[in-house]
Amino acid sequence: MTKPAKSVVIVVGGPAGTGKTTVSEALGQHFSCPVIEGDLLHPQANVDKMSHGIPLTDEDRWGWLQQLSEEASSKSLEANNESRMAVVSCSMLKKVYRDFIKKSAKSPDSIEFRFVFLYTTFEDLVERVANRKDHFMKADMVKSQFDIMEIPEGDELVINGGEALPVDATNKTREAINKEIIDNLAL
């Protein structure tokens, strides 16, 4: 793989339970770059809210999205990061969130973004989240994320010259999902 002309931030998103963390870690390993777990950047107020089954509002998300964009873009620009890449996981459920992440980057003209949007059926999400242990996002919160989810389409898609790659994770192995992403990221 040749080094990209600009630094690259790959944002792996989708509703809770789609495998964002697992995919992020696999991409970080594949591209030999830093990985940032977006859930760890939530302010305590957001974690408390979600832990009590209260969905986040757009207002709750802006500061969190800004911080993860700044941290991921900074990591991709670090002098000792030979890959000139970073991967960050976050829900980025709406197009407006993806646009905000791009605008919030450190040195936005020096960063190229790729948004990998994982999605599956509502029933699959509920089952996956119900089986997770020790996580603040509970199964009863999945509906709020599923309801506001905007799967990338049109000009936003990599195949149309955009930056987003939607990946249907329904009934696919981790290996198949990772291969689909790597083969279609357009890096």
What is the pTM assigned to this prediction?
0.91
CB 142 within 8 A of CB 17: yes
Contact of 134 with 126, CB cutoff 8 Å: no
- DSSP 8-state secondary structure symbol assigned to residue 163: S
Domains of the chain plus CATH, in order, are 7-184 (3.40.50.300)
Output the six-digit token pair for 16.
Answer: 């809770």
Pairing of strands 111-119, 85-89: unpaired
Nearest-angstrom CA–CA distance, 178 and 108 = 27
Sign, CA dihedral 92-95-96-100, equals positive
Per-residue pLDDT of the chain in tens (187 residues, 90 and over written 9): 555 578 999 999 999 888 899 999 999 999 999 999 998 999 999 989 988 888 889 999 999 999 999 999 999 999 999 999 999 999 899 999 999 999 999 888 899 999 999 999 988 888 877 765 554 555 567 888 888 999 999 999 999 999 999 999 999 999 999 999 999 998 8
Closest to 122 (Cα-Cα) out of 139, 97, 98:
139
C-alpha to C-alpha distance for 181 and 175, rounded to whole angstroms: 10
User: Hunting for tokens 């930056």 — which residue is that?
Assistant: 163
What local confidence, expressed as pLDDT, does residue 170 receive?
92
